[in-house]
Amino acid sequence: MFIKRLLLVLLTLVTLAACETKDTTTSTNDTGGENKSMQTGIIGGRTGGAWSVFTEGIAESIRRNHPTSVITVEPGGIVENPPTVGTNTIPYGISYTMTAYSAYRGEKPYDQAYKDIRAVSVVIPANYYQLVAREELKYDSLEEIIEHKAPIHLAVDQKGSAGEIITRNFLKEHGVSYDDIIAWGGSVDHFSGAKAFELMADNRIDMTGDAVSVPSSDIIQAKTMIDLKMLTLKKDTSKAVADQLGMLSGTIEASSYDFQNKNINTVNTPAILLVHKDVPEEEVYKVTKAIYENLDYLRTVHEEFKNLSDENMMNVGKVPLHPGAKKFFKEKRITE
C-alpha cells in the first residue's frame, strides 16, 4: 500500500511539473492571451554595431511587456536578414525597406522571391540617401555631372548594400551605368564611410553616396578634414527611384550640416522589423504593441530611436503588413 501511494505522489508531481513548464514557455505558435509568454528570435546586425543595439532595444521592449518571454537576438546583416525571415529560419529580423522589398520581389541582390516576408513596424525612420562631394568639385548636382560626362571618381559601398543600390538606380534613371563613368575617364570604387572620406581627403575620390542618418557622424567627422558639399538630386528622379525600390521620397533640411544652405530632395529607406507570415496574428499584435508602448524607453537606447513615433511607425514601404500589426495600427487609428 505504501509503495502504491508513493508512486501516485510521484506521478502527480511529474504531471504538475509538466503542466507548469507548458504554461511558462510558449512557442511562437501560441496564440494565447495578453499575458502569455513568447519564445522567439530576432536577427539584427553585426555584434557590437548600431544595428545590434537597435535589435536588442526591440527585444527588450517585448520583454518589458512580457517578462517571462524568451527573446533571443542573433547577429546578421541588412542583406541576409530578409531571406532568413522569409524562410522562417528566424521569425523576426531588421532590414531596410528597400532591401526587404527587393527580397520580397526577388530582385538584385536576391536570386529568388521571398513572398512570405511581412512587415511589423518601422524601427529607425530616417536613413536618407546623401550624395556628398568635395567642395571644389565644379558641379553642384548629379544631373550636371551626367550632362557633362564628367570623369568623376565615385565611391560607393559594397555591391548589394543600400547605398550602392540607390546610387546605381539614380544613375540608371539617367540612362547611365558604372561602366559609363569609367568610359568618361572616371572610376568607381567600393568604399564607404570613413574610408571613402579618407580617400576624398587625399583627392582620390570626388564624391560618395550612402543611405545614413541625418546628420551623419561620418560626414560631420569628414568635414573637420575637408570642405564638403551636398549634391542636389531632381525631385522627379528621387520619386522614381523611391517607387522602384520601395522607399519613400524625402528631404534633407537646410542647415542639417554647417555646409548645407538649402533643402535637398532625396530618398529615405527606413529600417523596419520583418516577420514571417506564419507567425500567429496575436503574437505579432503583441510585438507591435510592445514597440508602441516602449517608445520612451527606446529613445534612451540609441539616438536614432528619437525619430520613431506613432506617426511614422506604419511607414514600412511596400512590403505587406502582417495582419497582427495591421490589427494594432487599426485599433490605434494609426495610418500611413
**What's the pLDDT at 49?**
82
Closest by CA to 103, choosing from 92, 87, 89, is 87
pLDDT value at 117 more than 50: yes
The answer on 134 and 98 residing in a single domain is no
Amino acid at position 223, single letter? K
**What's the pLDDT at 102?**
92
The answer on 317 and 229 residing in a single domain is no
The answer on 132 and 120 residing in a single domain is no
How many separate domains does the chain show? 2
Measured in degrees and rounded to the nearest 5, phi and psi for residue 12 equal -65, -40
User: Would you place residue 109 in the very low, low, confident or very high pLDDT band (cuts 50, 70, 90)?
Assistant: confident
The answer to the question of residue 12 being in a domain is no
Residues 203 and 142: their CA atoms lie apart, in Å, by 19
**What's the pLDDT at 295?**
97
- What SS3 string covers the chain? CHHHHHHHHHHHHHHHHHHHHHHHCCCCCCCCCCCCCCEEEEECCCCCCHHHHHHHHHHHHHHHHCCCCEEEEECCCCCCHHHHHHCCCCCEEEEEHHHHHHHHHCCCCCCCCCCCEEEEEEEECCCEEEEEEECCCCCCEHHHHHHCCCCCEEEECCCCCHHHHHHHHHHHHCCCCHHHHHHCCCEEEECCHHHHHHHHHCCCCCEEEEEECCCCHHHHHHHCCCCEEECECCHHHHHHHHHHHCCEEEEECCCCCCCCCCCEEEEECCEEEEEECCCCHHHHHHHHHHHHHCHHHHHHHCHHHHHCCCCCCCCCCCCCECHHHHHHHHHCCCCC
Residues 248 and 166: their CA atoms lie apart, in Å, by 12
The answer to the question of residue 32 being in a domain is no
8 Cβ contact list (under 8 Å, min separation 6): none
pLDDT (mean) for 213-220: 89
User: Would you place residue 303 in the very low, low, confident or very high pLDDT band (cuts 50, 70, 90)?
Assistant: confident
Mean residue pLDDT across the chain: 89
The answer on 227 and 246 residing in a single domain is yes
The answer on 76 and 196 residing in a single domain is no
Residues 327 and 325: their CA atoms lie apart, in Å, by 5
The answer on 221 and 263 residing in a single domain is yes
Query: Which of 268, 295, 315 is at the close of a domain?
Result: 268
The answer to the question of residue 24 being in a domain is no
The answer to the question of residue 205 being in a domain is yes
The answer to the question of residue 121 being in a domain is yes
Task: Classify each residue of 91-117 as buried b or exposed e, where b means 16 or more C-beta atoms within 10 Å of its C-beta.
Answer: bbbbbbbbbbbbbbeeeeebeeebeeb
**What's the pLDDT at 9?**
39
The answer on 191 and 258 residing in a single domain is yes
**What's the pLDDT at 312?**
93
**What's the pLDDT at 53?**
93
pLDDT value at 212 more than 80: yes
The answer on 251 and 172 residing in a single domain is yes
pLDDT (mean) for 324-330: 97
The answer on 181 and 249 residing in a single domain is yes
The answer on 190 and 72 residing in a single domain is no
Query: Which of 224, 239, 268 is at the close of a domain?
Result: 268
**What's the pLDDT at 161?**
81
The answer on 194 and 100 residing in a single domain is no
Q: What is the pLDDT of residues 3-42, one digit of tens each?
A: 444 444 344 443 434 444 333 233 344 444 556 789 999 9
The answer to the question of residue 23 being in a domain is no
The answer on 161 and 215 residing in a single domain is yes
Q: Residue 88 sits in which domain range?
A: 38-125+271-331
**What's the pLDDT at 205?**
96
The answer to the question of residue 252 being in a domain is yes
Query: Which of 219, 236, 268 is at the close of a domain?
Result: 268
Q: How far is CA 173 from the centre of its chain?
A: 24
The answer to the question of residue 17 being in a domain is no
CATH number at residue 293: 3.40.190.10
